[in-house]
Amino acid sequence: MHRVGTFALAAVFAASIAGLACSVEPKLPAPEPPSPQSPALPVYETFESSADAMREVLLMRPAIIGVGEVHQQKGSPSTRSALRRFTEDMLAPLQGKATDLIAETWMVTGKCGAAEVQVTVDVEATTRRPENTETEVVKLLKAAKSRGMQPHILEVHCSQYDRLLGKGKKVEYDALLSLITDGLTAKATKIWRSSPGRKKTIVLYGGALHNDLLPLKELKRYAYAPALRRLSNGAFIELDLYVPELVEGDPAMKNQKWYSLLGQASGEKVILVKRGKGSFVLIMRKGIR
């Protein structure tokens, strides 16, 4: 039986990316305008639900939405994952407005020999995703289809598995992240070009790295957002989903202006933060299981 391969995680950077300093943070702080609420805070609005926040984003008539998350790992606080929340809460507003959903995952086919096995084992050990992640990805793809969206995943060929393995038969994560970026970009571009005069939205779902509109110089190679913004003539939106319990205390997040808004997170509302033109953060409800 084929199974869905593991997501590549932004957290991999901490130990695995060749040629990058270990101090590189996985998420770029996008430009933030002054806030009418407080000059120390970005512009933000509160909503009763993630679905309402998604409806607000859709009012901007995006052609492509790049959704990113901080992936849950083994040992993370027990809370409903961003992936599950997106599936259960945020797909409904996309029904009738989005035609396609591309997930940052691929099928492990068992046809590519030792290289495929080694890459799969190495990535799973490094990313430390919870065992239920595969199930949640499958549910996302099925739910998207049930709401009229064509689901898509990436394709990894046997020759690509061979190239991913470096010295000592360990995964070269620089090559893996480049492969994922190229795959997401190509998939979205093909869908876009297959529908001239497109009036509905393409959604990509994955880690909060590839969807950076303004990536750090060192991470530019791993971001599809600039290319897809050009493709869509500027109608691209970066939307990052942050579960409070998963980002509290994260040193890579503490320098973000929106980080102080975590103190307002509760089980009663969500917070949609405008970081810059076309760039948003959704702070999801706290304590939701």
Whether residue 193 is contained in a domain is answered as: yes
pLDDT score of 16 more than 60? no
Residue 101 parent element (H or E):
strand 98-108
What is the per-residue pLDDT across 244-282, written as a single tens digit (0 to 9) for each? 988 888 888 888 889 999 988 888 899 999 999 999 999
Phi-psi region of 233 (alpha: psi -120 to 50; beta: other; left: phi over 0): left
Q: Cα dihedral sign for 59, 136, 130, 288? A: positive
Hey, what amino acid is at 189?
T
Percent of the chain at pLDDT > 90 equals 50
> Given a cut of 50, is residue 28 above it in pLDDT?
no
Q: Length of the chain, please?
A: 289
In this structure, is residue 74 part of a structural domain?
yes
pLDDT at position 24 over 70? no
Q: What's the domain range around 185?
A: 3-109+131-154+172-283
Average pLDDT, the chain: 82
Section 218-241 average pLDDT: 96
Whether residue 246 lies inside any domain: the answer is yes
How many domains are contained in the chain? 1
Amino acid occupying residue 197: G
Say if CB 56 and CB 272 are below 8 A apart.
yes
**211 is a domain residue:** yes
The pLDDT value recorded for residue 4 is 42
DSSP line for 28-93: -----PPPSS-TTS-EEEEESSHHHHHHHHHTT--SEEEEEE----TTS-SS--HHHHIIIIISGG
Lowest mean pLDDT among 27-31, 89-93, 176-180, 185-189: 27-31
Is residue 21 one of the residues assigned to a domain? yes
Provide the H-helix boundaries in the chain: 50-58, 82-85, 113-127, 133-146, 158-164, 173-193, 225-231, 244-247
Residue at 122: amino acid letter? D
Rounded mean pLDDT of 124-141? 72
Which tens digits make up the pLDDT trace of 70-102? 866 555 556 788 999 999 999 999 999 999 999
Q: Answer whether residue 165 is part of any domain.
A: no
Residue 207 confidence (pLDDT): 86
Domain assignment of residue 9, yes or no: yes
In this predicted structure, the answer to whether residue 13 has a pLDDT above a threshold of 50 is: no
Strands 201-207 and 43-47, bridge-based pairing: unpaired
